[in-house]
Structure 1
Amino acid sequence: MTNPLLSERPLAEFSAILPEQVEPAIEARLTQCRAVIAAVTDHPESATWDNFIEPIEAADEALNRSWSPVSHLNAVMNSEALREAYNACLPKLSEYGTDVGQNPQLLHGYQQVAKTPGLDAAQRKMLEHGIRDFHLSGVDLDAEQKARFRAMNQRMTRLTSQYEENLLDATNAWFKHIQQADQLKGLPDSALALARQQARERDLDGWVLTLDIPSYLPVMMYAEDGELRRELYTAYCTRASDQGPQAGRWDNGPLMEEILALRHERAQLLGFANFAELSLAPKMARSTTEVMDFLNDLAEHSVSRARAELEELRAFAKSDHDQDQLEPWDLAYYSEKLRQHRYDISQEELRPYFPITRVLPGLFEIARRLFDIQIREATAPGLWHPDVRFYEILDSAGTRCAQFYLDPYARQKKRGGAWMDVYANRYWTHGHQQIPVAYLVCNFSPPIDDQPALLTHQEVQTLFHEFGHGLQHMLTRINYPAVAGINQVPWDAVELPSQFMENWCWERESLHLIAGHVETGAPLPDELFERMRAARNFQSAMQMVRQLEFALFDFRLHLEYDPKAGARIDSILDQVREQVAVMKPPAFNRFAHGFAHIFAGGYAAGYYSYKWAEVLSADAFSLFEERGIFDTATGRAFREQILEPGGAADAMDLFIAFRGREPTTEALLRHSGIQVDVQEC
Structure 2
Amino acid sequence: MAAAFRAGVMCAQVSGAAPGRVLKALARAPQARAAVWRRSSGVRRSSALLDASPAGLPRFGAIKAEDVVPAVTTALEEFQTGVAALNARFGGAAGDGGRAAPTVAEAAELTDAIERLYDPLSRVWGAVSHLNGVAQTPELRAAYEEVQPRVTEALTRFSQSVFPALAAVRDAPGVLDGLDGARRRVVELNVLSAELAGAGLPEAEREALTALKVGVGAAGSRFTNNVMDAVTPQAFALDLADAADVAGMPRSVRAAAAHAHEDEAATADAGPWRFTLDASSFMPFMRHCRRRELREHMYRSYVAIASTGDRDNQPIIREILAKRRQVAALLGYPNYAEVSIAPKMAPDAATVVALLERLRDKCYDAARTELARLHAFAVDGGYDGGDALALWDVPFWSERQLEATFALGDDVLQPYFSLPRVLAGMFATVERVFGVRVVAADGDAEVWHPDVRFFHVEAAGSGERVASFFLDPYARPGSKRGGAWMDVCVSRSSVVGEGLRLPVAYLVCNQSPPVGGGDALMRFAEVETLWHEFGHGLQHMLSEVDVGLVSGTSGVEWDAVELPSQFMENWCYHPPTLRAMTAHVETGEPLPNALIANLRASRVHNAAMAMLRQLFLARLDLALHMAPAEADADAAAATLDDPFAVVHDVAARYTLTRPLHEDRFLCQFMHIFSASYAAGYYSYKWAEVLSADAFAAFEEAGLDDDAAVREAGDRFRRTVLARGGAQHATEVYRAFRGRDASEDALLAAYGLQSHAAAPSASASVSV
CA deviation string 1:518-549 (max 9, x = no partner): 22221111111111112110000000100000
* Residue 87 in structure 1 maps to residue 145 in structure 2: yes
SS of match in other structure, 2:764: coil
Alignment of 1:529-540 (within 5 A): 529-540=596-607
Equivalent residue, structure 1, for 2:65: 19
Q: Is the 8 A contact 2:583 2:590 kept in 1?
A: yes
- Given candidates 223, 230, 240, the residue that maps to 2:306 is 240
Equivalent residue, structure 1, for 2:453: 389
2:186 partner amino acid: M
Give unmatched runs, 5+ long, in structure 1.
242-246
Shift of 1:24: 0.8
1:25 partner amino acid: A
Q: Is the 8 A contact 2:503 2:541 kept in 1?
A: yes
* Residue 435 in structure 1 maps to residue 481 in structure 2: no
- Given candidates 260, 263, 278, the residue that maps to 1:212 is 278
1:196 partner amino acid: A
- TM-score, length-normalised on structure 1? 0.96
CA deviation string 1:303-348 (max 9, x = no partner): 1111111111111111221424221111111111111222222133
- Given candidates 286, 289, 293, the residue that maps to 1:227 is 293
* Residue 473 in structure 1 maps to residue 533 in structure 2: no
Q: 1:42 to 1:156 in 2, by over 3 A?
A: same
What RMSD over aligned residues (CA atoms) do the two structures have, in Å?
Answer: 1.9
Equivalent residue, structure 1, for 2:87: 41
SS of match in other structure, 1:385: coil
CA deviation string 1:78-132 (max 9, x = no partner): 1110001111111110121121011155445654898277521111111111112
**Alpha-carbon distance between aligned partners in 2 of 1:425 and 1:272, rounded to the nearest angstrom:** 33
- Given candidates 365, 368, 375, the residue that maps to 1:307 is 368
Alignment of 1:250-649 (within 5 A): 250-325=311-386, 326-378=389-441, 379-395=443-459, 396-412=461-477, 413-429=479-495, 431-561=498-628, 563=636, 565-629=639-703, 630=706, 631-649=709-727
Shift of 1:8: 4.4
* Residue 128 in structure 1 maps to residue 202 in structure 2: no
1:97 partner amino acid: L
**Alpha-carbon distance between aligned partners in 1 of 2:667 and 2:167, rounded to the nearest angstrom:** 42
**Alpha-carbon distance between aligned partners in 1 of 2:177 and 2:303, rounded to the nearest angstrom:** 57
Q: Is the 8 A contact 1:64 1:424 kept in 2?
A: no
Equivalent residue, structure 1, for 2:736: 658
**Alpha-carbon distance between aligned partners in 1 of 2:310 and 2:184, rounded to the nearest angstrom:** 50
Shift of 1:259: 0.4
**Alpha-carbon distance between aligned partners in 2 of 1:26 and 1:257, rounded to the nearest angstrom:** 30
**Alpha-carbon distance between aligned partners in 1 of 2:258 and 2:89, rounded to the nearest angstrom:** 66
Q: 1:271 to 1:561 in 2, by over 3 A?
A: closer
Shift of 1:53: 2.7
**Alpha-carbon distance between aligned partners in 1 of 2:589 and 2:69, rounded to the nearest angstrom:** 53
SS of match in other structure, 2:61: helix
**Larger deviation: 558-567 or 479-488?**
558-567
2:733 partner amino acid: F
SS of match in other structure, 1:41: helix
2:719 partner amino acid: Q
**Alpha-carbon distance between aligned partners in 1 of 2:177 and 2:570, rounded to the nearest angstrom:** 43
Q: Is the 8 A contact 1:110 1:131 kept in 2?
A: no
Q: 1:194 to 1:37 in 2, by over 3 A?
A: same
Q: 1:108 to 1:318 in 2, by over 3 A?
A: closer
**Alpha-carbon distance between aligned partners in 1 of 2:310 and 2:326, rounded to the nearest angstrom:** 29
- TM-score, length-normalised on structure 2? 0.85
Q: 1:622 to 1:565 in 2, by over 3 A?
A: same
Q: Is the 8 A contact 2:336 2:627 kept in 1?
A: no
* Residue 175 in structure 1 maps to residue 241 in structure 2: no
Q: Is the 8 A contact 2:217 2:674 kept in 1?
A: no
Q: Is the 8 A contact 1:549 1:576 kept in 2?
A: yes
Give unmatched runs, 5+ long, in structure 2.
1-27, 35-50, 91-98, 630-635
**Larger deviation: 219-228 or 553-562?**
553-562
**Alpha-carbon distance between aligned partners in 2 of 1:223 and 1:484, rounded to the nearest angstrom:** 46
**Larger deviation: 623-632 or 534-543?**
623-632
Q: Is the 8 A contact 2:111 2:183 kept in 1?
A: no
1:2 partner amino acid: A
Q: 1:332 to 1:8 in 2, by over 3 A?
A: closer
**Alpha-carbon distance between aligned partners in 2 of 1:485 and 1:461, rounded to the nearest angstrom:** 22
**Larger deviation: 228-237 or 158-167?**
228-237
- Given candidates 88, 112, 125, the residue that maps to 1:67 is 125
Whose radius of gyration is greater, 1 or 2?
2
**Alpha-carbon distance between aligned partners in 1 of 2:740 and 2:167, rounded to the nearest angstrom:** 36
Equivalent residue, structure 1, for 2:764: 680
Identity of matched residues, %:
39
Q: 1:276 to 1:619 in 2, by over 3 A?
A: same
**Larger deviation: 601-610 or 553-562?**
553-562
CA deviation string 1:207-263 (max 9, x = no partner): 21111222111211111111111111111111001xxxxx33311001001101111
**Alpha-carbon distance between aligned partners in 2 of 1:535 and 1:32, rounded to the nearest angstrom:** 55
Between Structure 1 and Structure 2, how many residues are aligned?
Answer: 676
* Residue 100 in structure 1 maps to residue 158 in structure 2: yes
SS of match in other structure, 1:13: coil
Equivalent residue, structure 2, for 1:244: none
CA deviation string 1:351-382 (max 9, x = no partner): 11111110001111111111111111112343
**Alpha-carbon distance between aligned partners in 2 of 1:117 and 1:445, rounded to the nearest angstrom:** 51
2:436 partner amino acid: I
Shift of 1:409: 0.5
**Alpha-carbon distance between aligned partners in 1 of 2:468 and 2:110, rounded to the nearest angstrom:** 29
**Alpha-carbon distance between aligned partners in 2 of 1:568 and 1:299, rounded to the nearest angstrom:** 24
**Alpha-carbon distance between aligned partners in 2 of 1:405 and 1:555, rounded to the nearest angstrom:** 34
CA deviation string 1:451-505 (max 9, x = no partner): 1001111111000000000100111011111111101111110000000000000
**Alpha-carbon distance between aligned partners in 2 of 1:217 and 1:31, rounded to the nearest angstrom:** 46
SS of match in other structure, 1:440: strand
1:240 partner amino acid: A
**Larger deviation: 507-516 or 158-167?**
507-516
**Alpha-carbon distance between aligned partners in 2 of 1:16 and 1:203, rounded to the nearest angstrom:** 34
SS of match in other structure, 2:310: coil
Equivalent residue, structure 2, for 1:2: 29
Q: 1:109 to 1:435 in 2, by over 3 A?
A: farther
**Larger deviation: 47-56 or 287-296?**
47-56
Equivalent residue, structure 2, for 1:137: 197
**Alpha-carbon distance between aligned partners in 1 of 2:62 and 2:566, rounded to the nearest angstrom:** 36
